Structure 1
Amino acid sequence: MEQEKGKLELVATQRIQAHPEMYKVVDFLNKNLKEHHLMFGLTKKEESMVISIYEVE
């Protein structure tokens, strides 16, 4: 059976205090860890942010 390409598996999440430049960190991580099959996401809810780490298959 062929494995689905581009599938994301959530590895971990962490809630942090919102910071206006946090998106730059996530962008940096995504650009530099792509070849290690990792992807990072960022969501903002009120005064906090949630950073998520995904493994890309």
Structure 2
Amino acid sequence: MEKKHIEALTSVKLEKSEDLYKVVDSLNRTLKERNLMFGLALDEKDQEKMVFTIYET
């Protein structure tokens, strides 16, 4: 089985938002065929911020 190489293209820190995961989910569903993946996580140092990352797969 071939492993997929995942490369982070960019990350941006944003204010925490309850609905931001909906945008990330929509982007992942829409753009997966273009070898793009999107991630969202709480900032480890500041729980009031989120980190949005774009990956190329």
TM-score by length of 2: 0.87
Structure 1 unmatched runs, 5+: none
> Aligned equivalents of 1:30 and 1:5: distance in 2?
19
- Give the percent of matched residue pairs that are identical in Structure 1 and Structure 2: 45
Match of 1:30 in 2: 28
- Aligned-CA RMSD value: 1.0
Structure with the higher fraction of residues in strand conformation: 1
C-alpha deviation, 1:6, in angstroms: 1.6
- Count of matched residue pairs: 53
* In the alignment, structure 1 residue 15 sits paired with structure 2 residue 13: yes
> Aligned equivalents of 1:33 and 1:7: distance in 2?
17
> Aligned equivalents of 1:6 and 1:54: distance in 2?
12
C-alpha deviation, 1:17, in angstroms: 0.2
Provide runs of 4+ in structure 1 moved above 2 Å.
none
C-alpha deviation, 1:42, in angstroms: 0.4
* In the alignment, structure 1 residue 47 sits paired with structure 2 residue 48: yes
